[in-house]
Amino acid sequence: ARITLRQLLDHAAEHEYGLPAFNINNMEQGLAIMEAADAVNSPVIIQASRGARSYANDIMLARMIDALAEIYPHIPVCMHQDHGNGPATCATAIQYGFTSVMMDGSLMEDAKTPASYEYNVEVTRKVVQMAHSCGVSVEGELGVLGSLESGMGEAEDGHGFEGVLSHDELLTDPDQAVDFVGQTGVDALAIAMGTSHGAYKFTRKPDGDVLAMNVIEEIHRRLPNTHLVMHGSSSVPQDLQDIINQYGGEMPQTWGVPVEEIQRGIKHGVRKINVDTDNRMAMTGAIRKILAEKPGEFDPRAYLKPAKEAMRKVCQARFVEFGSAGHA
């Protein structure tokens, strides 16, 4: 059954757990998420980026979500627009049946240029008005995602900003967070505390200097009733790096966000945790392994099924680790 983000996160807050939000681009990923949720009885947040919507086609994506919800009628599903870049993207997501939208006003509509605070408030408030009148939830973002190691802010295409941002600019300001939530009425707030998208987050296991979980704790103290969202929260597990590299891949050694740090966040108001990279790596590792071991294989099902299975394992682990298992 369809459910809004607000309904899911209110329940998560009441029962003190977190929900992973997994990205979808194709059928195999959708099935992997739902099979995992069904196995451990977890509610689900499926999210689609603008890139996913153009890759899969809006109609295909919308029908796929309908199909997944019909196959698993007992699993509550929130369909969320990931990183909406403006009111038009959010409005068309709502037209296609999404029950939640992210208005990422931390960047301008080009998804490359950092936005002013005033722009962010204005565009987010506008989307909240529009979405709430349709019964749809809204996630806002305050603070620019990026690396505290390099000082680089992050554009949507994964490249860093030209200008190196100061340490403080890469962290969400708690005073501003209070003002932002009050002015916009968002249902959930994504914050910046040192994570970035993709596999290359940290050059060593992160400590408090590069992953500022204390910022989350401070914001939660000031906004105890606001659901917080962590982006860039793949853990980039060593075993997934190893399998890719063992079968011909070339991924330099890297570190993600340790699951125990996310669990600490969940104790301090984090309710939605975005995970895409881990699933991409799981699928790629499985496909590389099959193609390396069976070079004569040419039936796509021979590698897509193991890829789906590898992603299911990651999803299932996160449902258990973040505590949403058992709450469907």
Residues forming the site for Na ion (CB under 5 A) = 82, 102
Please report the DSSP string for 255-317 in residue order: B---HHHHHHHHTTTEEEEEE-HHHHHHHHHHHHHHHHH-TT---HHHHHHHHHHHHHHHHHH
The helix or strand, by DSSP H or E, that contains position 123, with its residue range, turns out to be helix 117-133
Q: Compute the distance between CA of residue 90 and CA of residue 101 in angstroms, rounded to an integer.
A: 6
Task: Tell me the closest approach of the beta carbon of residue 146 to ligand 13P, in angstroms.
Answer: 13
Cross-strand bridge partners of residue 160: 154
Q: Which is nearer to ligand 13P, 125 or 201 (CB)?
A: 201
- On whether the CB atoms of residues 309 and 29 are closer than 8 A, the answer is no
Q: Which of 35, 82, 187, 218 touches ligand G3H by CB under 6 A?
A: 82
Q: Which of 6, 83, 271, 312 touches ligand G3H by CB under 6 A?
A: 83
Q: Token pair of 143, please?
A: 């603070």
Q: Which of 231, 271, 308, 312 touches Zn ion by CB under 5 A?
A: 231
Task: Tell me the closest approach of the beta carbon of residue 76 to ligand 13P, in angstroms.
Answer: 20
- Secondary structure percentages of the chain, helix, strand, coil, to 5: 45, 20, 35
Q: Token pair of 116, please?
A: 């002013």
197 is in an annotated binding site: yes
Stretch that binds ligand G3H, among 45-53, 59-67, 92-100, 201-209 (CB under 6 A): 45-53
Q: Which is nearer to ligand G3H, 47 or 241 (CB)?
A: 47
106 is in an annotated binding site: no
* Residues at the contact surface with ligand G3H, assessed by CB under 6 A: 23, 49, 51-52, 82-83, 197, 276
Binding residues: 83, 104, 141, 197-198, 231-234, 274-277
* Residues at the contact surface with Zn ion, assessed by CB under 5 A: 231, 274
